[in-house]
Amino acid sequence: MPRLMKSVKKWWPILLVLLLALALRLAFLADIPPGLTHDEANHGREAMGILDGILLFYFPLNYGSEPLYSYTAAAFMRLLGEGVVALRLVNVIFGVLAIWAAWLWSKRAFDNRTALTAAALTAVSFWPLAS
């Protein structure tokens, strides 16, 4: 039991930051911002093309992009339907993973306090929330 408590004590700060990030990104997911941005619309078009059988390795929309995001969006649209929530949920997942990656890198490069600060600031910063 002491070993479990030590493990929980070690991980709870980053888990709280990730939960906060997830909550902020999921709140009003379908409503804010209203409608789709041009980037979201283009990713949606690419994902719908994938679902229609147009399989590319490079997508010319959005000033050109690699396929990971578009294929992930297509998978979510297949599971959840063709809508705003499916498109934005992909961004939520990649956003939370980016916070996790920032924490891992900062912890390795600096220390745990710096890593938690970097993760927390990324979790609540405007641009990572808005995009």
In a domain, 75, yes or no: yes
Q: pLDDT tens for residues 114-130? A: 999 999 999 999 888 87
The pLDDT tens digits of the residues spanning 17-28 come to: 999 999 999 998
pLDDT of residue 129: 80
User: Which whole number is the average pLDDT over 15-42?
Assistant: 89
Give the model's pLDDT for residue 100: 97
Residue 114 in domain: yes
Number of structural domains (the chain) is 1
CA distance 37 to 45: 12
Q: Does 26 reside within a domain?
A: no
pTM: 0.85
How many percent of the chain have pLDDT more than 70? 97
**Residue 1 has what pLDDT?**
59
Residue 120 lies in a domain: yes
Range of the domain at 63: 36-130
Specify if 1 maps to a domain.
Answer: no
Asked, for residue 21, whether it belongs to a domain, the answer is no
